[in-house]
Structure 1
């Protein structure tokens, strides 16, 4: 992951005043795909596309649509390259940032607030929200067909040999 001081790799700003009723398609270019691959520790991002509808209600913009991505990810065990296709529904809201709490104050979030992304001023970054949605869709423990062979080669065995029920196998 990159530090928070750098600019987003996939940034698409929209003005809230032009957000009402828009159908938007955003697509990452080659440089943006390379930046996202580095940020999310992927071998390669081949494509990232989001098609969404924007609905404005006062200072809130509701986003609904689909994220489609193809990328190459290393197996968590064998490090072999695995092709991954992701098609995820997107549903979140951009809300005007409110500072009604102190910086170090602990706050409680309601369920409907979990998918709210604050923005400042009159613009919101749809591209960064899509990039974060991609991050959530990546399986951090993805394993490929060579994973069991790699485990055995280094003496780890299979997950079934060391799982929570492994000791019960010997009680037959």
Structure 2
């Protein structure tokens, strides 16, 4: 004949086991939290100062900030040399030839989406290969309805090295025109 423990003893063990489970989970959360800290904070060590160095202009980090309004340029489609010449002249005219692009949205004008988006992507490739300050910037090509032959390029520039994120004075934006 097996003897069953009194009901009170079983309830006591359940509470005891639940307490240990809670304590183990708390310990696990503490280990996870400490493991997610950067190494310097876990060990209490202070990072060693390094000699200041700035990356080359074409690889400036995006952490600098971004001008939230795009500078808009329009180029006629054609040869790579023609597109680069048009775009470079517009960059110089707007006073932003020395600025680094944060990201670029291009809108190829065409009656149908396929050719328009293809034109935008082709211009993006020409910009990437022709302007070092645009190489690291993500670029996206889109379609805009209308007659073929033009691509509008909206450039969101990174902030200047001193942190200025104001809109460049000589730029114009497609945002001002409503599209």
Structure 1 or 2, whichever has the larger Rg, is 2
**Structure 1 length-normalised TM:** 0.29
**Structure 2 length-normalised TM:** 0.28
> More relative contact order in 1 or in 2 (CA 8 Å, sep 6+)?
2
* Bigger share in helix: 2
* Bigger share in strand: 1
